[in-house]
Each structure stands twice: as structure tokens, then as C-alpha cells.
Amino acid sequence: MKTHFFQSLKLTLILIVLAGGVYPLLISAIGKLTPGGGDGQEIKVNGKVVGFANVGQKFTKDEYFWSRPSAVNYAADGSAGSNKGPNNPDYLKDVEGRIQNFLKHNPDVTRAQIPAELVTASGSGLDPDLSPEGAKVQIARIAKIRNLSADKVAALVNAHTEQPLWGVFGPSKINVLKLNVALDQLRK
Amino acid sequence: MNTELLGVVAMYAVTILLAIPLGKYIARVFNGEKTWLNFFAPLERLIFKLSGINPEKEMNWKQHLKALLTINVLWLFYAFFCLLFQSHLPLNPDGNPSQTPDLAFNTAISFITNTNLQDYSGESGATYYTQLFVFTFLHFVSAATGIAAMMVVFKAMKDKVTDKLGNFWDFFIKSITRILLPISFVVAVILAFNGTPTSYKGKETVITLQGDTTHVSRGPAAGMIAIKQVGTNGGGWFGANSAHPLENPNYLTNMVENISILLIPMALVFALGFYLNRRKLSWVIYGVMTAGFLTMLLLSINAETGGSPALAHMGVTQATGSMEGKEVRFGPAASAYWGITTTVTSNGSVNAMHDSMMPISGMGQMFDMMINAFYGGVGVGYLNFYIFIIIAVFISGLMVGRTPEFMGRKIEAREMKIASLIALLHPFLILVGTATACYFLVHFPNINWAEKPSAWLANPTFHGFSEMLYQFTSSSANNGSGYEGLGDNSIFWNVGAGIVMFIGRFLPIIGPVAIAGLLAGKKFIPESAGTLKSDSITFGLMIFAVILIVAALSFFPALALGPIAEHVSIK
């Protein structure tokens, strides 16, 4: 027993250094070579950081494409989902409220055109993306409030649509932050 | 076929294409044959020399268990005290507080048992020190513990009459240097190049495009996330686990992480065949496991891509399926696939919130963990399966009226007692735990605890019951995923789930190792015409039947009260 104990103790110390120290430092050194240098990929407008490409942020103003609802209000230091069950009556009331709100701000849209992702909270609360439909359904509102032609906004949405991986795997998507940054530049 | 389903098919196809050669490689490693990673040998020799270990010394099954338990208890104390005092330790750029004693108890057990139930949130409940020097470290060693224990059983099945079953430390260290570390390294580099942070910087404050202030948590996460998948650990860097866009930035990383979840558990099934030179046995076991896996997978993918009936009633369009708790970049098919792979393998990481999935998916996920042997956790999955094999052999023996034997050894009363106890332990822990929780909820809803039982559940009725059932199922199966609506950072859940995880880890390791050790010491009986062939389809069907009967009879009533009741009550 005693030999097991001291062998275990020494082995543990060595492995703590190896797995907790050396291994992450090595990955960190390699991370320096990646885009963003391992700090996360930032997006800048006029030299000022406005966010991280992969981390979703809150867009609730009518002149921007809205991002999805978030259970944590896009707090990027406390990610979480709503954890509401699909048949929870309180949850269904929340969803109905979001539908009403969306219809109020997008009078040209009918209920049947709203994609579910715009009235449901994401898993992380930080979903950076929308599906192409989630963006398209907002084009009329954006075009009107920004005095742009709907075709021009639609072209921007198309240009920002990322196809499935290698064209064959997974869903198409649009990064909301990148889309909105481009939208701001469109006005100029 | 649409691109979402294609993605799922591709993930499974790549996994099996990698698992077969990896299984062959693992068998070579433990047979002591030369492999292309032999350049690790000097490092291994150095580790053994510094620790005063002679890796050539043969151990019997009792010595193996002594070594395993000694080092695990040591890790438990180390982890507990680190978490209890983490705010005083270095590498805490975000100034996070120490964990409370009950939370530290739960978290320490959770990580040594390869469970990684996380009653804390990574961004605020841990420091970079504990994330790296406790969690990442434990991710490696808990996975290696499972593989080493499994190797004792493999070895016992291989040799003729013997009590010499190899050296525990040798199995343990080689699991890390030859298997876990190289694969994790590759996965971590892929993650890093796709945007997962690797630097040691703390939170960054950003003014967003529309003018809100937000604080973005990060840290040296890529390495930890890699081993969390590869070692079927599942405990992530961030609170939302692999649903978090820094932890799992795009569909490619999702494929890589999800392949990593299933890779080693599947490879170990093939390793058995290569190691014993009985490849057909591997295919029989693989067939049984895959049949169970695919059944649950198809149910779940169908439920998630079909969308939520309640939302359909409200008139919105669900072209992309059910989206509550899911991320746009993965979609419902890949989320359902992850949900089933993570629960069959005792991994427990998530890329979507299970609490918000359809009740049929919840049933599939819980059923996977109740069986806990369809592929299973690294090493321990096969140990659980071994128990089902022993029971199947025994029942088959009774049916044909012969003494039951497996791999040339008689299965007798002593082995059967151990196997039955271990098989019954899992339902016992889950059902008694859930019943106790229900008792407190009903009779003491407002007892004077920091979090009162009346505040535990995020959802009413059947789904609320499922939250409690899921928590104990996940704990006993050492899975670690959760219905996260449950208010689990409270004394009842921290302590209750902690005890269940501990028992649910170590007894199911001790049992199979003991059985294998006892069998290895018995007289070898050569196969004859009357021997039930262990690598036949008949035997595979027999194991499948035993699994269904043992699990269905134990768990069906509880599932009927939770997810099944919720499913049939949808209007």
C-alpha cells in the first residue's frame, strides 16, 4: 500500500505538469500562428473592435438584422440556453410574445413566414448566425428604415450566405455581426 | 438527401473508417509491438524512473485494483482542495471565486470519475489554474484509468491459466502517451485554427455594434476541449459546453469533435478482436452496440428535424426543425446525432441543450445512459458490456442445460453473484436517487436549504420529473450531460449526485476486473461441439436480449412517468 501511495504521488505530480502545463502551453504556442493569435478573432470597424466573429451579440434595433433570442441576453461571460421543455406553458407564452413583437416590427411579414429560430433561444445564448431565411424575412424592414432598395439588401444577404461545409455537409448560415457591419458600410 | 443528413452520415462513416485501424494500433501498443509512436518510449521510461515504478512487474487483479484506487483517491483530495481554494491560486485573470465545499465535492468526484457533471459554469466557477491543472489533467488520467482497467480484462481473457495480468502503471501511462495525448493534440490544433482560443488572456470588454457593453470570456481552451471529447469526459471550458461558439466554432469543428466522441470507444471494440485474435467476436459486439445506437439515433433525428408540435400549432415555420436550445450552424440533425453519441459513450458534452429537445430524444438519451454499454465510455464501456456478456453466457447455459463457459472458463456462482450485483447497481442508484429527490420535492418543498426543492425544476409536470431522472441517470452512468434547467448547484444535488457518481464509477470497475481475474485463474476447457460460440450471431442476439430485458424491466416505469408521458400528452 505504502509503495502504491508514493508511486502514485510522484506519478501524479509529473502528470499534472505534463497535462496541465506542457500540453496547453504547446497548443498555445501553436495558437499564436492562427488567425487572431489564439485570443479569438476580432472584428474591427474603423480600427475599433466591435466584437468577436464567432461570438454572437445582441441586435434588437430595427435598423440592424436581429440576432436570435438569447436566454442570457448575450452575456458572453455566462453562456447558457433557456432549458425550457418543448411543452412548458410559460415558455410557449414567451414564444408567442416574441412572435407578436416580430410581427409588430415587421408589418409586411405574416406569421407563417417567421422561421422558428427567430423566436427560440439558442443553446449557448451566443449564437452568431442566422439561417438564410432568418435574414431574408427581415429584408423589408431594413430596406424601409434605411431607405435602401430591397434588392440591394437582398444582394448583401446573398453575398454573406455561407454555404454548407465543402458544399455538402451541414446547414447554410449567415454571420449576423459581419452582415450588419457590411450593412452599415452600404449606407455610405 | 439534404446536407444536414449527409453531414451525419459522413461523421459516422469517418468514425468507423478511423476506428478499425486505431483498434489495430491500440492492440499493437498493448501487445508491446513496435508502433510509429515508439519515440515516446524515452519519455515513458523517464516518467517511470522518476516515479520509482517498474513497469515490467506483473500484477494480479487485486494489485491492479489497489493501484487504481490509491491513485484515484489521491486525485480526489487534490482536486477538492484546489477547487476549494482556487481564488487564492495563480492563473485567475477574471478574479473568479472559490467553490463552496459541496460544489467542490461534486466537481472533484465528477472529474475523477470521468463524469464531468458541471454544477458550476466554466466562465465564472473555475479559474485557468483549475481548468488546466485540475480538469485537463483529470480528463487525461480518468480516461487512462478506464483504458487500463479494461486492459486488465483483455489480458485476463487472452492468457491461459495465470494470475499475472500485466502492470497497471504500464497500461495507464501508455494509454496517455500512445493514445490520448497524440489524438488530443491533433484535435486541439484543428480547433485552434478554426477559432477556439488558446491564449492565457482574461475576459475582453467590447462595445458592440449597436452600442451594448459585453464581456467576452476566453482562455487556453482548445487543449482542454480536445481531450474532453477524446477521453469521453465531456466537461467543457464554457458553461454552454460545445454549443458555445468559441468551444465549437463551425460545422467542421463540430464534425471533428463529434468523431472524437465516438472514436476511441469504437476503436476499443476492434482492439479486443485484434488483441485476442478473435476479430469475429469484435464484429458481434460491434453489431449489438450499433443496433442499439442506430435505433435511438433514428428516433431522435426524426423528432428533432420534424420540429416542435407546440410551435407548429403557433403557426411559425420550422423548415430547419426544432430550434430551441440549438445553434444555427449545426442544425437539428447534427444536434440529435451529438445527443445520442454523447449519451451512448458516457461523454456528456453537448452541442445543444438536451432539456429543450423533444421528449422522444430525451427518452433515447436516458435509455442510452441506462444501458451505458452501446460503445460506452473509454474502457469502462467494454467493462459494462462484459457484465452483460457474463449474464448472457449464464442464461444461455441454463437454457441448453450445460455449465456456462466463456472463452474456455466456467462461469460459476461467485462470478455470477458479482455480475448480478453490478448489473443491479445501476438501476438501484438511478431509481433510488430519483425517488429520494421526488420525496423531498413533495414532502419538504420549502425546507430551509439555500435552494429550496420547490425551486429545483425549470419545467412543470412530466418534464420536471425527467429533469430529476436525467440527473441521476447521468450521474450513475458517469455521463455528465444534464437537463440543465435543474437547479443542481445546491446541497442535495451536489452531494447526492456526487455519491452516486463515485459508487457508479468504481464498483463497475472493480466487478468486471474481479470476474476476469477469477476466471483467468481457472482451468482452461478447450472448445467442443457443445460449446456456445461467443463469436456467433446467436450469441449476439442473446446479449441484445439480455440488455433489453435487464434495462427495459428496470427502467421502463420511470421512463413512462417522464419522457413517454410527455410525448403522449402532446396535443
Please name the residues between 455 and 494 in chain B that touch chain A, using a CB distance below 8 Å.
Answer: 458-460, 463, 466, 483-485
Strand partners, A173: A162
Between B37 and B381, the higher pLDDT residue: B381
B102 touches A at CB < 8 Å: no
Whether residue B398 contacts residue B542, with contact meaning beta carbons closer than 8 Å, is answered with no
Place of cell 410525448: B567
- Rounded CA gap, B147 and B151, in Å? 6
Strand partners, B409: B406
Would the CB atoms of B239 and A120 count as touching at under 8 Å? Answer: no
Would the CB atoms of B124 and A77 count as touching at under 8 Å? Answer: yes
Q: What is the mean pLDDT of residues B113-141?
A: 94
Model confidence at B532, pLDDT cuts 50, 70, 90, reads: confident
Interface test with B, best of A33, A63, A120, A124 (most B CBs within 10 A): A124
Amino acid at B249: P
CA–CA min distance A91, chain B (Å): 9
Residue B528 confidence (pLDDT) above 80: no
Model confidence at B307, pLDDT cuts 50, 70, 90, reads: very high
Q: What is the mean pLDDT of residues B500-528?
A: 91
Amino acid at B104: A
pLDDT tens, residue by residue, B188-228: 999 999 999 999 999 999 999 998 999 999 999 999 999 99
Residue from B440, B434, B291 nearest B366 by CA: B434
Amino acid at B394: F
Query: CB B427: neighbour CB atoms within 10 A?
Result: 18
Residue B157: the pLDDT is: 87
Would the CB atoms of B353 and A41 count as touching at under 8 Å? Answer: no
Whether residue A16 contacts residue B71, with contact meaning beta carbons closer than 8 Å, is answered with no
Residue A138: the pLDDT is: 96
B134 touches A at CB < 8 Å: yes
Between B561 and B40, the higher pLDDT residue: B561
pLDDT tens, residue by residue, A107-163: 999 999 999 999 999 999 999 999 999 999 999 999 999 999 999 999 999 999 999
* Spatial CB neighbours of A77, under 8 Å, sequence gap ≥ 6: B94, B123, B124, B203, B214, B215, B216, B217
pLDDT tens, residue by residue, B452-461: 999 899 998 9
Element (H, E) at A52: strand A48-52
**Backbone CA torsion sign across A73, A78, A84, A89:** negative
Whether residue A143 contacts residue A153, with contact meaning beta carbons closer than 8 Å, is answered with yes
Q: What is the mean pLDDT of residues B527-532?
A: 76
Whether residue A78 contacts residue B239, with contact meaning beta carbons closer than 8 Å, is answered with yes
B96 touches A at CB < 8 Å: no
Residue B93 has φ and ψ, to the nearest 5°, of -65, -25
Residue from the list B209, B218, B323 with its beta carbon closest to the beta carbon of A50: B209
Q: How many domains does chain B have?
A: 1
Would the CB atoms of B206 and A30 count as touching at under 8 Å? Answer: no
A61 touches B at CB < 8 Å: yes
pLDDT tens, residue by residue, B131-169: 999 999 999 999 999 999 999 999 988 867 788 889 999
The CA-atom distances, in angstroms, between B202 and each of A44, B218, B328 are: 19, 6, 27
Residue B207: DSSP 8-state: E
Residue B406: the pLDDT is: 87
Residue B478: the pLDDT is: 94
Residue B15 confidence (pLDDT) above 60: yes
Percent of chain B with pLDDT over 90: 79
Residue B22: the pLDDT is: 96
Task: Please report residues of B whose CB lies closer than 8 A to that of A39.
Answer: 197, 199, 201, 204, 218
Q: What is the mean pLDDT of residues A51-67?
A: 94
B93-105 per-residue burial string, b: 16 or more CB within 10 A, e: under 16 = ebebebbbebbbb
A97 touches B at CB < 8 Å: no
Q: What is the mean pLDDT of residues A20-36?
A: 94
- Rounded CA gap, A131 and A133, in Å? 5
Strands, E assignment, B139-289: 204-207, 213-216
- Rounded CA gap, B113 and B508, in Å? 11
Please name the residues between 281 and 340 in chain B that touch chain A, using a CB distance below 8 Å.
Answer: 307-311, 314-331, 334-335
- 3-state class (DSSP) for residue A166: coil
Q: What is the mean pLDDT of residues B547-553?
A: 85
Residue A43 has φ and ψ, to the nearest 5°, of -115, 130
Element (H, E) at A43: strand A42-45
Name the grid cell of B270.
476492434
Element (H, E) at A102: helix A89-105
- 3-state class (DSSP) for residue B312: helix
Residue B231: the pLDDT is: 93
Range of the domain at B534: 3-568
B209 touches A at CB < 8 Å: yes
Task: Please report residues of A whose CB lies closer than 8 A to that of B314.
Answer: 92, 95-96, 99, 111
pTM of the model: 0.95
Percent of chain B with pLDDT over 70: 100
A148 touches B at CB < 8 Å: no
Would the CB atoms of B320 and A89 count as touching at under 8 Å? Answer: no
Please name the residues between 165 and 184 in chain A that touch chain B, using a CB distance below 8 Å.
Answer: 165, 168-173, 177, 180-181, 184
- Rounded CA gap, B176 and A44, in Å? 41
Residue from A50, A130, A124 nearest B247 by CA: A124
Residue A120: the pLDDT is: 96
Model confidence at B242, pLDDT cuts 50, 70, 90, reads: very high
Residue B35: the pLDDT is: 84
Residue A43: the pLDDT is: 92
Judged by average pLDDT, the poorest of B5-9, B15-19, B29-33 is B29-33
ipTM entry? 0.94
Place of cell 482542495: B81
